[in-house]
Amino acid sequence: MLHFPDPAKLKTRKIVFEDVFPAIDCGTLEQLKELSSKRRLIEEAVNATSMVTEAVAREMSGGLASRTEQDLQKLKHYLPLLENFVSHVEMHGSNNKMTLWVSNLRIQWSSVLAAAPPFSGLLGPKFFQVDNIRFELGLMLFLYAALLRDRAYEVVTSDLVQSTTLFREAAGVYHYLSHDVIPSLQSQTSGQKPPEASSSVTAAMSLMCLAEAQAVTVRKAEERKATASLLVKLHSGVGVFVSEAIHSLRSEGTEVKDFSGRFLEYLSSLKELHELKSKKYLAQDLKSSERISVAIEVLRQALVDAGKHIPGDESWRLILKEEMDEVAEVLRKYENENEIVWHQRISSWDELPAPVGSKMLNNVSYSPTRCEAPLVFKL
């Protein structure tokens, strides 16, 4: 499978909640300290500043060997505390002191989906500061979904069902972000925000995850020797999801130049790969119904189309090239068979059938959990 790990490469700057928010009682102070402590573990993970050895990290996580699983666990411990904090902050959202305290947190995150500014390789990542507590919630949830994606890739070679579920769970988190978290953030704040804090982008990420989930599903269908007609629908359905994701990216008037080139190239490469696969199976289905001349022209056109969009990333290029080589070999066999056995006239391109995709999967709904603890500040 093509792999795009960039969404999990977010970085953030340190926050100490108890240094900014004056607690009125010991219980509130302890909650703020725990919030800072849980966040510090995530800061160290994403910024790669942790001094903890692999063995100690495994022991601290209860035996989790995967670094991705360890980081997911840290987020699962932090998010309920953060949800509770957000609810208490928003209870007093119009209070001037509360507004000032949130501003003094200096919530800052980098972006992995924004176009890189000039000399970014020398200066390091650009950080965006948004003085709204939902910015912290939104970017933490974005990171959580990105890590679910990474975990889905980790298990794809050993457990296709679990991998599909993890992609669908990631899609559910992004969907929740797009519909329940970011709209209020966008309405309450102005100024520059990273793409990760946009409803259209998180909606696109949700669709991308569903495309990836369907890519895993079709892999399982191939292992089970599903019919060519079903494989056409599944592979083409991946392309449908990706097309909808690309459309979502442009729905808020954002220009292509505002996004990371790798992000856009990944989406187009994912679409091209599965459209090529769908046409390979469409040709197989046509041949089985004795329409080999049409099958030949479908394969010829598929190779021409795929050759127009060769990705720059070496690993993606190799995967697409391998599939193109396989399609070219199938084409060679069909041409030889037609020349010797069928003698059918090759169809023109405007007469060719096109694959029809089916979207077979939905996201797994995300339901946030909240640590119900009272927080009282000196307002």
What is the per-residue pLDDT across 39-88, written as a single tens digit (0 to 9) for each?
Answer: 999 999 999 999 899 999 999 999 999 999 999 999 999 999 999 999 99
Q: What is the pLDDT of residues 315-351, one digit of tens each?
A: 999 999 999 999 999 999 999 999 999 888 876 767 7
Mean of per-residue pLDDT scores for the chain: 94
CA distance 291 to 67: 51
pLDDT number for residue 327: 98
Region 209-237 average pLDDT? 97
Q: Which residues pair with 128 in a beta bridge?
A: 109
SS3 62: coil
At 339, phi and psi to the nearest 5?
-65, -35
pLDDT number for residue 187: 82
Region 1-19 average pLDDT? 97
* Alpha carbon of residue 374 to chain centroid: 34
Q: Whole-model pTM?
A: 0.95
The answer to whether 376 and 23 have CB atoms below 8 angstroms apart is yes
pLDDT number for residue 251: 79
Residue 128 confidence (pLDDT) above 80: yes
* Alpha carbon of residue 305 to chain centroid: 26
Determine what percent of the chain is predicted with pLDDT higher than 70.
97
CA distance 214 to 80: 30
First-to-last C-alpha distance (Å) of the chain: 53
* Element holding 105 (H helix, E strand): none
% helix / strand / coil in the chain, to the nearest 5? Answer: 65, 5, 30
186 vs 167: which has the higher pLDDT? 167
Confidence grade of residue 230 (pLDDT, cut at 50, 70, 90): very high
CA distance 258 to 252: 12
Determine what percent of the chain is predicted with pLDDT higher than 90.
88
Q: How many CA atoms lie within 13 A of 302 on its CB side?
A: 35
Residue type, 199: S
Q: What is the pLDDT of residues 352-379, one digit of tens each?
A: 899 999 999 999 999 999 999 999 999 8
Region 139-166 average pLDDT? 98
CA distance 146 to 9: 9
